[in-house]
């Protein structure tokens, strides 16, 4: 069913009255953003239920948990002030803090000018409530509660609080909801649930349901909310559900008499507690009959409301009859169809187990990193920008790019630990030694909003230095100037040349970016995620992932470079066609049981990174005989083996490395270097969004990040 646009619902009407500027943003975006303050068991559980209902929860607020995520996807901040710097359009906040800390949290939210605040917390001391109310009046905040079950707006599919999803809106067609209906305003949460069922049983829709709260002192009373609901054009009738104790109902009746123009629509009251003795509580601090007083009793409330022209009911049956009478038997939906829909919902199978990642969506022939096609990223963005995207979910602005560059360059300048690189030792093993021994990396801070991405960038700078130490090119990093692009640092580390070949530098960076990530299922990502789940230090977890990049996982590029080089050399030496030389070598490999690397992929029939790297190699003038061979090798393999296997990204990188005259092992080095950025993203996502020591089923991962988008 199509929901009512947010700017046509009652919640928007309330927001517009308090913050016209915010209402304009809602009209532009079509979204009402909310925040959840307090992420204990109740706050977290109901945040999930609110989100499932359709509420846009933009952020969570929990001191000490800034930088983590709520429900895997929602950023968490230490304070509402920090939150609003990133998300200035939040219009509703629900407060779930313990009564001992609810005051400061609520006042902080109110003073941030969030127009609608739903205070779920109960038992807040009266002296604290007094301060909260003063702040709310000063800032003209619509404060609901404390001790409220919350608010729900069924036509828009928005709720803040713990009200269940049983309230039903108007149907204007079999496919769409409408905004009209009855507004229910109640002191009791339990009564609300019964009222919903009662009204729905005769086809009466609810366009808004508000639990005012059960504590003795609350933010908004009947006298505040009933006129507000009646002023909304799509409210046809208001039901107030009161109970004995307090004087809300009497004050409402008094205001109706004094200001009848504020009450232009039918109003019906349901009062509970007709037979309660004096002093009997109704479960709330505000529901006490005071002995000897003329207010707070069932009779006093009934008399006050009826004298103001409001019919008072004492049973749901009477209420239904009166509502139907006032609405002239109007119905808002077909009751039989309503129950069929409810049965479908109630009988729905349980949700399949799964867990979320925001980083990479892996699909056949396509890779999206936070919504951006990886091939477009390779073409238009640098390594540091891509690493930032992997961790933060967005590309950095120019100022931030410069900050990140400085961090990476400074990291590359620092000497690295003395590590022995044994002859024929796999480069991944040597890099693991550097990671676990490097105190500079271990001690680099990672706290705060940008701590994770800064540590990642620092790590990438250190990795450039590790590579230069392994390759014996540290001298080329000895005279770095302040404005050195990071791609030049990488080039110096890889080649040992102090004079940078700009075309080669661009090509190397493009190959590294092409390797940054392939989701959570590759062994390197799994190793890092398992370590992160146990809360291993960053450098240890990333080292675990790097250590899993062996010749089996990550070594195909180097072997492809060797194959292409062998084929070209045979062609020259024997003065035969390259294709013929390649066929002969392939047959030899097959006879010897050797694997022909760089071909085939478990998912892609056309690797999305292939063409962009080929194009780069042509644009930079690097493409030569090896790249030319890489474009024919699949066809040649099919002629020899009778199988169609497309060339993959490893094969393309191997060909480019060969045409650049680099050691074939550099193809693996580029793969590892790029993948370190992806492993960093997965590490910080795991720590921020998942429980410790969880059992990880990698096949259950679900991409929950941004949808497809283009680089502007």
Catalytic residue among 46, 139, 284, 488: 284
CB 240 within 8 A of CB 222: yes
80 CB-near residues (< 8 Å, 6+ apart):
35, 37, 61, 93, 108, 109, 112, 114
Taking the C-alpha atoms of residue 79 and residue 97, their distance in angstroms, rounded to an integer, is 13
Is 604 designated active site?
Answer: no
Q: Is 248 helix (H, G, I), strand (E, B) or coil?
A: helix
Specify whether the CB–CB gap between 313 and 269 falls below 8 A. Answer: yes
Identify any residues that bridge with 37 across adjacent strands, giving them in sequence order: 61, 95
What CA–CA distance (Å, rounded) separates 444 from 455?
Answer: 7
SS3 assignment for 572-622: HHHCCCHHHHHHHHHHHHHHCCCCCCCECCCCCCCCCCHHHHHHHHHHCCC
Answer yes or no: are the C-beta atoms of 416 and 463 closer than 8 Å: no
Do β-strands 90-95 and 116-119 pair in parallel, antiparallel, or remain unpaired? parallel
Best CA proximity match to 178, nearest among 158, 151, 160, 156: 156
Distance CA 301, CA 294 (A): 9
| Residue located via tokens 């991409």 | 703
Q: Phi-psi category of 257—alpha, beta or left, where left has phi over 0 and alpha has psi -120 to 50?
A: alpha
Residues 6+ apart with CB under 8 A from 670: 508, 511, 512, 515, 557, 653, 657
Pairing of strands 33-37, 56-61: parallel
As a whole number of angstroms, the distance between CA 109 and CA 101 comes to 13
For the four alpha carbons of 20, 25, 29 and 34, in that order, the dihedral sign comes to: negative
Tell me the two tokens of residue 83: 């939150």
Residues serving a catalytic function are: 284
């Amino acid at each position: 069913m199509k929901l009512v646009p947010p700017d046509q619902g009652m919640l928007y009407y309330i927001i517009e009255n308090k913050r016209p500027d915010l209402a304009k943003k809602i009209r532009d975006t079509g979204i009402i953003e909310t925040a959840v303050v307090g992420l204990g068991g109740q706050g977290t559980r109901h945040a999930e239920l609110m989100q499932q209902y359709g509420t846009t929860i933009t952020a969570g607020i929990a001191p000490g948990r800034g930088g983590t995520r709520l429900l895997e996807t929602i950023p968490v901040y230490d304070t509402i002030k920090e939150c609003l710097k990133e998300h200035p359009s939040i219009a509703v906040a629900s407060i779930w803090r313990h009564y001992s800390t609810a005051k400061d949290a609520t006042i902080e939210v109110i003073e941030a000018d969030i127009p609608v605040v739903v205070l779920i917390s109960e038992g807040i001391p009266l002296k604290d409530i007094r301060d909260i109310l003063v702040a709310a009046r000063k800032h003209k905040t619509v404060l609901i509660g404390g001790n409220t079950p919350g608010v729900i707006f069924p036509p828009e599919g928005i709720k803040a609080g713990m009200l269940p999803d049983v309230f039903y809106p108007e149907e204007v067609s079999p496919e769409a909801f409408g905004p009209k209906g009855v507004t229910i305003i109640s002191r009791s949460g339990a009564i609300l649930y019964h009222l919903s069922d009662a009204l729905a049983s005769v086809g009466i829709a609810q366009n808004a349901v508000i639990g005012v709260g059960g504590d003795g002192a609350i933010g908004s009373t009947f006298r505040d909310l009933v006129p507000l609901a009646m002023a909304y054009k799509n409210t046809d009738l208001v039901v107030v559900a009161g109970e004995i104790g307090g004087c809300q109902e009497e004050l409402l009746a008094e205001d109706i008499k004094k200001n009848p123009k504020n009450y232009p629509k039918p109003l019906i009251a349901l009062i509970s507690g007709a037979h309660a003795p004096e002093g009997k509580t109704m479960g709330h601090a505000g529901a006490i009959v005071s002995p000897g007083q003329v207010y707070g009793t069932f009779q006093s409330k009934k008399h006050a409301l009826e004298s103001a022209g409001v019919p008072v009911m004492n049973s749901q049956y009477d209420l239904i009859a009166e509502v139907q009478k006032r609405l002239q038997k109007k119905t808002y939906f077909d009751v039989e169809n309503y129950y069929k829909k409810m049965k479908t919902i109630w009988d729905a199978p349980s949700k399949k187990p799964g867990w979320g990642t925001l980083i990479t969506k892996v699909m056949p022939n396509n890779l999206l990193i936070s919504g951006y096609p990886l091939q477009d990223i390779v073409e238009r963005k640098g390594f540091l920008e891509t690493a930032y995207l992997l961790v933060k979910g967005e590309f950095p602005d120019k100022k931030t790019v410069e900050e990140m560059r400085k961090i990476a360059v400074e990291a590359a300048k620092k000497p690295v630990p003395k590590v022995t690189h044994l002859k024929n030792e796999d480069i991944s093993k040597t890099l693991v030694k550097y990671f676990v021994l490097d105190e500079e990396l271990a001690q680099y801070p990672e706290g705060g909003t940008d701590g994770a991405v800064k540590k990642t960038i620092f790590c990438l700078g250190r990795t450039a230095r590790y590579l230069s130490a392994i390759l014996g090119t540290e001298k080329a990093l000895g005279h770095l100037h302040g404005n050195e692009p990071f791609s030049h640092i990488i080039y110096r580390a890889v080649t040992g040349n102090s004079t940078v070949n700009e075309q080669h530098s661009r090509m190397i960076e493009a190959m590294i970016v092409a390797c940054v990530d392939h989701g959570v299922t590759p062994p390197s990502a799994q190793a890092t995620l398992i370590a992160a789940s146990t809360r291993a230090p960053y450098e240890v977890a990333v080292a675990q992932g790097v250590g899993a990049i062996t010749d089996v996982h990550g070594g195909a590029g180097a072997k492809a470079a060797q194959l292409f080089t062998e084929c070209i050399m045979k062609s020259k030496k024997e003065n035969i066609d390259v294709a013929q030389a390649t066929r002969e070598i392939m047959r030899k490999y097959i006879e010897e049981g050797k694997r022909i690397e760089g071909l085939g992929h478990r998912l892609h029939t056309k690797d999305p990174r292939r063409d962009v790297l080929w194009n780069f190699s042509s644009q930079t003038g690097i493409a030569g005989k090896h790249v030319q061979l890489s474009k024919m090798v699949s066809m040649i393999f099919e002629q020899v083996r009778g199988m169609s296997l497309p060339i993959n990204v490893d094969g393309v990188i191997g060909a480019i490395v060969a045409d650049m005259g680099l050691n074939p092992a550099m193809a693996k080095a580029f793969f590892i270097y790029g993948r370190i950025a992806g492993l960093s993203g997965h590490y910080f996502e795991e720590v921020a969004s998942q429980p410790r020591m969880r059992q990880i089923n990698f096949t259950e991962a679900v991409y929950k990040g941004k949808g497809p988008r283009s680089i502007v």
